[in-house]
Amino acid sequence: MELSILDQAPISQGSTGGQALRNAVELARFADGLGYRRYWLAEHHASAMLACAAPEVLIGTIAAATSHMRIGSGGIMLPHYSPLKVAESFSMLAGMHPGRIDLGIGRAPGSDQLTAFALQRDRRAAAPDDFPQQLLELMGYYERDLPADHPFRRFSATLAGGPEAPDLWLLGSSPQSGIWAAELGLPYMFADFISPQGEAIMQRYRAEFRPRHAGGMPRCAVAVAAICAGSDEEAWLLSASARVARLSSRAGRPIALPPVEDALRILRDEMGSPDAAPRGRRLIHGAPAPVRQKIEAVAAAYSAEEVMILTVVHDPAARRHSYALIAQAFGLAPAAVELR
């Protein structure tokens, strides 16, 4: 089983979005020496908590700052964009970093409805719900198999980074995303941290997978939320910052990640309990050995060959430490890496 990282560039209270982006680059450099397979950047818009509005911008910077990991999007929310523009952007990234760029595609807006509308270029009407057609067009540019009468067919030959191309994945947290991934023969990353218990969706994806090319096989991965620390109690305390920020966001009061002490006070005084947490979410937390066991259990339930780990805490050093402990627990960390 391979381990990878999903980064949402969390913004800590008292810091800035710019610092959150620099923290992402620092974490990627650190993780590059730990043995992680991929480092993906999420897409969220107009967020007080997350500084990841344009993953394609950060992908180039992180790819240049690292040497071993594949770098990509987790994901690009395709309904906001022209398929040609996405194809061109990731063609350039692939051309600059051959064999290291992933293009994870999602359907969700990564925002509320007003923000999604603000992102539209043409605001005379709501954008059409034509994701399958967008995805086929995007794939057609890279595979150069758009129909002969397609008006944009010739653009396949003008992609700036050619002949290099990104590895295309479909991301999702619902049955429909798995159906599309199976029909199109794409690798599939399921967001368990958004929608736990998606095992049946992954099972259906594997059963209905149609190879797009000879020898094609289903590729299954699952993204989980996890925090690892020296003890189970410490890991749970570290989770307080993200728990209160997500509860506040659901209540319509978005905030940056508060320090643990402030988060515990808010949870206790305003939300009824220091152990309050968003419903319907799975968070793996604890010391290294139990965290490994829980991650392996999720991977086994999904029959996933790869697990992508999302860690959101207030302190960037605690986030690096969590990823280092997990890498060490799985035997990834080289002896030269100092845990701090």
Q: What CATH number corresponds to the domain at position 81? A: 3.20.20.30
The answer to whether position 197 is within a domain reads: yes
Residue-level pLDDT, tens digit, the chain, 340 residues: 899 999 999 999 999 999 999 999 999 999 999 999 999 999 999 999 999 999 999 999 999 999 999 999 999 999 999 999 999 999 999 999 999 999 999 998 878 888 888 998 888 888 888 999 999 999 999 999 999 999 999 999 999 999 999 999 999 999 999 999 999 999 999 999 999 989 999 999 999 999 988 889 999 999 999 999 999 999 999 999 999 999 999 999 999 999 999 999 999 999 999 999 999 889 999 999 999 999 999 999 999 999 999 999 999 999 999 999 999 999 995 634 444 4
The answer to whether position 337 is within a domain reads: no
Q: Where are the alpha helices (DSSP H) in 271-308?
A: 288-302
The answer to whether position 184 is within a domain reads: yes
Return the H-helix or E-strand segment holding 182: helix 175-184
Give ∠ CA 149-150-156 in degrees, rounded to 5.
120
Residue 37 near residue 329 (C-beta atoms within 8 A): no
Domain that holds residue 263: 2-329
The answer to whether position 334 is within a domain reads: no
pTM attached to this predicted model: 0.94
The answer to whether position 336 is within a domain reads: no
Instruction: Label residues 107-122 b or e (16+ Cβ within 10 Å = b).
Output: bbbbbeeebbeebeee
Split into its structural domains, the chain has a count of 1
Residue 162 near residue 145 (C-beta atoms within 8 A): no
The answer to whether position 335 is within a domain reads: no
The answer to whether position 186 is within a domain reads: yes
- Which residues of 272-326 form beta strands (DSSP E)? 283-286, 306-310
The answer to whether position 99 is within a domain reads: yes
CA-to-CA distance for 176 and 321, rounded, in angstroms? Answer: 36
Structure tokens, 171: 């991301």
Amino acid at 39: Y
Q: Measure the CA dihedral 52/57/60/63, to 10°.
A: 0
Closest by Cα among 181, 224, 225 to 201: 181
Residue 51 near residue 89 (C-beta atoms within 8 A): no
